[in-house]
Structure 1
Amino acid sequence: MPKAQALTTPAVSTKLLATAAGFTGIMLLLAYLVAFDQGALSQSGMYLHELMHDGRHLLGVPCH
């Protein structure tokens, strides 16, 4: 008689884990752009700073 093999399934699928990691990365990048970028990533000077200015004050992030 052949031995029965236990089938294991992961608690979280790899597709879901990859999606969650990608979403988390995008959200961290967005948080950086809103809260901490002072024109370092923008090629046109303070464009991102001015674009996100009201959002910074709404979140309580000092910018000036």
Structure 2
Amino acid sequence: MALSAAPAAVAPVGQPTAPLSVKAVLPWAVFFGVLMMTLIYFVGAEQGAVSLISGENVHEWVHDGRHLLGFPCH
């Protein structure tokens, strides 16, 4: 069996990797936070008292997830 001549991309044992800074993580944390809040809105509140999209399509698409997460819908 032939071995690959490519160098390993893993840091050698015993050498610490560079820590992540808050500046590097903060934009991703904000992005995923907004994404999760949007998803929770569509699962939990869309087609309720406040509706951004008319019709029943969004309600039907997230109906089972709504019950699974404990949101009442009917």
Settle same-fold status: TM greater than 0.5: yes
Match of 2:70 in 1: 60
The two structures have a TM-score, normalised by structure 1, of 0.71
Give the structure-2-normalised TM-score: 0.63
The CA RMSD measured in Å over matched residues stands at 1.7
- Structure 1's consecutive aligned runs of 4 or more residues displaced over 4 angstroms after TM superposition are none
Question: Does residue 28 in structure 1 map to residue 33 in structure 2?
Answer: no
Percent identity of equivalent pairs: 45
CA displacement at 1:19 relative to structure 2: 0.7
Highest RCO, 1 vs 2 (Cα 8 Å, sep ≥ 6): 1
**Equivalent-residue separation in structure 2 for 1:15 and 1:28 (angstroms):** 21
Provide structure 1 residue ranges, at least 5 long, that are not aligned to the other structure.
1-10
Residue 12 (1) aligns with residue 30 (2): no
* Structure 2 segments unaligned to the other structure (5+ residues): 1-19
